């Protein structure tokens, strides 16, 4: 039975410091609720919540939920958590994050949900930015820190709710979007889905429960069966929206002509690096055109759009080496990021990679063993465990062995802890190369610890 959010006044968030949880906490607070929560990690997100008047406990204790009438938890929280156990024992309703996302989304006239194995955050940000540029006031829930909205949440009116829709644990199936996007469907989260067939079934359900149109990258349409509400975007003119004359400029950014059926929409110029962002842009264009946004606004939006943090972001200088970090943690994302780095900077690329979760590394080990080809050197950090226990077949040590088995001449160093890496890198003779930090864990902290000077590179 679905809850009525209006009935609850004091809501507790277990794991409130998560990127989605912190955004939802602010959304619910904006509805007039008393909000508090707990998180073991003190972070910029938890500090921001405190500044907004939300109490955040840094320990998980049963007493934290005293007086609360609803408890929300994220998928990363174990069932033995004392706050969850106490709530259940005292008949306080307990719901997962995605259920709250659905309850919040119900209040909006139009729900725009962006899904896919990759590109969700960038595409969500693109759509939100263009909507804001044309004078609309959407509410935005995004899985990253987006400068244009001052964080991961924008509180707008009730006309549009633009949100990421994550497939992990089928959380996106709680949503009933007006318009949706499926950027791509690749093998991922097999610790939950068990096999790719189950994952495809979930994306199929997501498409079917979209009320009006689900815009799908044409490369993956054949993975969806029996959906009558699908429109595709891609290269072929058989798609609802397609591209022609793709060009990479002197600044290494792409432009392309865009068509809708036989109608020429216009030429677009991206402000983001990487050919893969053309597909993200096509998804954004599809959604914006559906809501009547003009070519001129979309053109200006894509030309001036700056990406979310940790998406091909320049963070500083180490010796004479430029440092970038990127959230890429799936083999396809890693391949795209390395290719873009080589394409843009035309220098040696030294990559520092932190595998994210043992289960992902284990299930995608064949792809991980080959996705670093083209690098000049690779440093491996220990696997970021997140919610999981150690497993050798998902460890960075095993990944190193598999990479060398695939390519015995590959220059690979490690495996290191973060502290060990920092000590090691200071002894290396690095000159005029790119240091590329990849991973979805806490690797993002390292470049800021060794940077001489931040934001020195003009990204525009």
Out of 3.40.50.720, 3.30.1450.10, 3.40.50.1980, 3.40.50.2300, the CATH code matching 5-100 is 3.40.50.720
Alpha helices in 71-117 (DSSP H): 82-89, 97-105
Mean pLDDT of 390-399: 96
Q: Decide: helix, strand or coil at residue 368.
A: helix
What are φ and ψ of residue 232, in 5° steps? -110, 160
Mean pLDDT (whole number) for 222-236: 93
Q: Is the pLDDT of residue 376 over 90?
A: yes
460 pLDDT exceeds 60?
Answer: no
Which pLDDT band, with edges at 50, 70 and 90, does 458 fall under? very low
What is residue 191's predicted lDDT score, i.e. its pLDDT?
87
- Model confidence pLDDT, tens digit, residues 69-92: 999 998 878 889 999 999 999 999
Domain ranges of the chain: 5-100, 108-304, 313-450
Query: Would you name the residues annotated as active-site residues?
Result: 120-121, 164
pLDDT in tens, 87-109: 999 999 999 999 999 999 999 99
**From CA 30, how far away is CA 14, in angstroms rounded?**
19
3-state DSSP call for residue 182?
A: strand
Whether a cis peptide bond, with omega within 30° of 0, leads into 55 is no
pLDDT at 457: 42
3-state secondary structure of 7: helix
pLDDT of residue 452: 64
For the chain, the average pLDDT equals 94
The whole-number pLDDT of residue 429 equals 87
- Phi, psi (rounded to 5 degrees) for 79: -65, -20
Is it true that domain 108-304 has CATH number 3.40.50.300?
no
The residues near 150 (Cβ < 8 Å, ≥ 6 apart) are none
Percent of the chain, pLDDT > 70? 98
pLDDT number for residue 15 = 95
CATH superfamily membership of 313-450: Mur ligase, C-terminal domain (3.90.190.20)
Please say if the pLDDT value at position 226 is more than 90: no
Mean pLDDT of 343-368: 96
Predicted local distance difference test score (pLDDT) of residue 116: 97
The 3-state DSSP class for residue 287 equals helix
Q: Which residues pair with residue 253 across a beta bridge?
A: 273
Percent of the chain's residues with pLDDT above 90: 86
Q: How confident is the model at residue 152 (pLDDT cuts 50, 70, 90)?
A: very high
Q: Tens digits of per-residue pLDDT, 42-55?
A: 888 999 999 999 99
| pLDDT, tens digit (0-9, with 9 covering 90-100), for 183-219 | 999 999 998 999 999 999 999 999 999 999 999 999 9
CA distance 157 to 155: 7
- Predicted pLDDT of residue 1: 56
Whether 453 shows a pLDDT value over 70: the answer reads: no
**Among 285, 284, 337, 330, CA closest to 311:** 337
Helix (H, G, I), strand (E, B) or coil at 160: strand
């Amino acid at each position: 039975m679905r809850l009525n959010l209006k009935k609850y006044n004091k809501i507790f968030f277990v794991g409130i410091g998560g990127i989605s949880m912190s955004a939802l906490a602010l959304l619910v607070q904006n509805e007039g609720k008393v909000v508090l929560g707990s998180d073991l990690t003190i972070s910029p997100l938890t500090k921001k919540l405190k500044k907004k008047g939300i109490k955040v406990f840094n320990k998980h204790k049963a007493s934290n939920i005293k007086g609360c009438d609803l408890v929300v938890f994220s998928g990363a929280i174990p069932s033995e958590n004392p706050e969850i156990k106490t709530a259940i024992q005292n008949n306080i309703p307990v719901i997962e994050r995605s259920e709250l996302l659905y309850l919040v989304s119900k209040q909006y006239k139009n729900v725009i949900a962006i899904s896919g194995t990759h590109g969700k955050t960038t595409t969500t940000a693109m759509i939100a930015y263009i909507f804001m540029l044309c004078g609309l006031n959407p509410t935005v829930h995004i899985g990253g820190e987006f400068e244009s909205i001052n964080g991961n949440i924008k509180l707008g009116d009730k006309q549009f709710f633009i949100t990421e829709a994550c497939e992990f644990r089928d959380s996106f199936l709680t949503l009933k979007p007006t318009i949706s996007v499926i950027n791509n469907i690749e093998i991922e989260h097999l610790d939950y889905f068990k096999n790719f067939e189950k994952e495809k079934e979930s994306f199929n359900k997501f498409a079917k429960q979209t009320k009006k149109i689900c815009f799908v990258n044409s490369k993956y349409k054949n993975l969806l069966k029996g959906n009558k509400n699908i429109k595709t975007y891609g290269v072929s003119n058989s798609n609802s929206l397609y591209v022609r004359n793709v060009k990479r400029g002197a600044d290494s950014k792409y432009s392309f002509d865009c068509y809708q059926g036989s109608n020429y929409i216009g030429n677009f110029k991206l402000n983001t690096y990487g050919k893969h962002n053309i597909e993200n842009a096509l998804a954004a264009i599809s959604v914006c055109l559906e809501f009547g946004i003009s070519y001129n606004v979309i053109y200006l939006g894509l030309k001036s759009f700056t990406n979310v943090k940790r998406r091909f972001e320049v963070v500083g200088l180490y010796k004479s080496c430029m440092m970038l970090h990127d959230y890429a943690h799936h083999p396809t994302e890693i391949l795209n990021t390395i290719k873009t780095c080589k394409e843009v900077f035309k220098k040696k690329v030294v990559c520092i990679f932190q595998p994210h979760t043992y289960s992902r590394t284990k299930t995608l080990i064949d792809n991980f063993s080959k996705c670093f080809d083209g690098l000049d050197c690779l440093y491996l950090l220990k696997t970021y465990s997140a919610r999981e226990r150690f497993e050798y077949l998902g460890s960075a040590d095993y990944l190193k062995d598999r990479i060398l088995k695939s390519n015995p001449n590959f220059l690979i160093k490690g495996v290191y802890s973060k502290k060990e890496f920092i000590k090691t890198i200071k002894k290396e003779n690095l000159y005029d190369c790119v240091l590329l930090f990849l991973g979805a864990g806490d690797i993002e902290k390292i470049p800021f610890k060794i940077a001489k000077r931040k934001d020195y590179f003009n990204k525009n």
